[in-house]
Amino acid sequence: MKTNASKTLKATAAAVAMAVSAMAAHAAAAPSELKIGTLYASSGPFAVASQGQYEGLKFWAAAINKSGGAFVKAYHKKIPVKIVAYDDQSSTSTATTLYNQLISQDKVDVLVADFGSVLTSVAVPLAAEHHMLLIDPTGSGANFFTKKTDYLADVSIPSSTVWPVPLANYLLQQKIKRVAIIYGANDFDASQAGTLKDVLGKGGVTPVYYHGVPTTESNYTVLLHTIAATKPDAVLEFGYAPNDIAFLRSLAQSGLHFNMTFSIFPGQLIDLMTKNVGAKGLAYTYTYPTPPLVKYAKVSYGMNTADFVKAFNAAEHKQPNFLDSAGYNTGLIVQHMLDTAPKFTQLDFHQALMDISGKTTTLLGPFKINENGAQLGQPFPVAQIVPEGSGTKFVVVYPQDKATGKAVYPAPKQ
């Protein structure tokens, strides 16, 4: 007993001594700037989305630096933020080298992943290997979040395992039985399609068509005819923005008509979609409406959605899209993490995120992560794009408490 107690005492003393010296060392070594490392894609299938996210993050950094920097609790002072960013051109192998560069050469304090599941996936094992917390803005692939980890946190988008649930419930509620699902064969779209299929299956609906296509698919003309041959009521297409554009264009030209058509990116990048597909091609399409289309007025941290839109507009002279908002939100969460973490270590950063989880609401909605790093908050409703004048508007149709109108179903032939 005695020896045990004294051992414990000794150990505690040693630990305290170490902690004190560590704190002293830290206090002495407070960095002159906070290095936030990230990647963006100037080209390739993820370029538009990635650049939006990156601009949002830069907008946050510029705003916080104007106020003297981010408050770091570990040092009790504000420290200016510096973003170190490289261009991975949407290539995972380039991204691997560059994530390595950020970790080993630039020795960044905070590591932020590029847009989307594909470019995030290569960073996940790297971050774990180097004991870095990976701040994952928009990588929602289900297979990232299969075990408990201290080194991964999805901060700005719901995990793919919860994301399509409202859509599935809506289909079940509307009693739409013949559902065709076509998805891009990548972590993001395949997880979406898989989750949707599962939830529909529990409701007794088996898709009449369920098929993956390469992420690079740019012509859906023939596929659409194969889908039409299964006589579906609803055709749900899960892709990245270029897929969604190609799908909706092919549909508009094909002479085919479905009662319901769904696609993801009209709700995130409406300007890009309208430019490429046209208002007519988008009419009556369903999508996930995202902030800033959906607005959160009451927030506990940072600007609310409407204020963000105004501020972003004033600074960048354009309307923010969802990915700008997601990038900005990522900055906000990092900021909150830094002003919460008592010590300047990656593990404390992660603990800080766990601490603010469930108690924080930002412009994207409630922030809630689980121990695997998956985002369970920030839910997306279902909306339909309906013509208005020469343009279009979004009508949220599900869930009931967020609905702004009723869906036009079946979609009228044009």
Q: Which residues bind another protein (CB under 8 A)?
A: 42-44, 47-48, 86-87, 89, 91-94, 96-98, 100-101, 104-105, 118, 121-122, 124-125, 128-129, 143, 185-187, 190, 211-215, 218-223, 225-226, 229, 242, 245-246, 249-250, 252-256, 276, 278
Please give the Cα distance from 111 to 201 (Å, whole number).
38
Please give the Cα distance from 27 to 16 (Å, whole number).
16
List, as own/partner pairs, every contact residues 298-306 make where C-beta atoms lie below 8 angstroms and the sequence separation is at least 24, other chains included. Answer: 298/361, 299/361, 299/362, 299/363, 300/359, 300/360, 300/361, 300/362, 301/332, 301/336, 301/360, 301/361, 301/362, 302/329, 302/332, 302/335, 302/362, 302/363, 303/363, 304/363, 305/363, 305/364
Strand segments, DSSP code E, in 7-161 are 34-40, 70-72, 77-79, 81-87, 110-112, 134-136, 152-154
Question: What three-state secondary structure class fits 334?
Answer: helix
Report the nearest approach of another protein to the CB of residue 59 (Å): 22
CB nearer another protein, residue 98 or residue 337:
98
CB nearer another protein, residue 222 or residue 315:
222
Please give the Cα distance from 82 to 80 (Å, whole number).
7
CB nearer another protein, residue 272 or residue 376:
272
Report the nearest approach of another protein to the CB of residue 237 (Å): 14
At 273, the amino acid letter reads M
CB nearer another protein, residue 171 or residue 264:
264
CB nearer another protein, residue 65 or residue 276:
276
Give me the residue label for tokens 């045990």.
4
Give me the residue label for tokens 């002293």.
24
H or E stretch at 247: helix 241-254
CB nearer another protein, residue 242 or residue 267:
242
Report the nearest approach of another protein to the CB of residue 332 (Å): 28
Report the nearest approach of another protein to the CB of residue 231 (Å): 12
Report the nearest approach of another protein to the CB of residue 136 (Å): 14
Find the DSSP H helices in 29-141: 47-66, 92-100, 116-121, 123-129
CB nearer another protein, residue 92 or residue 372:
92
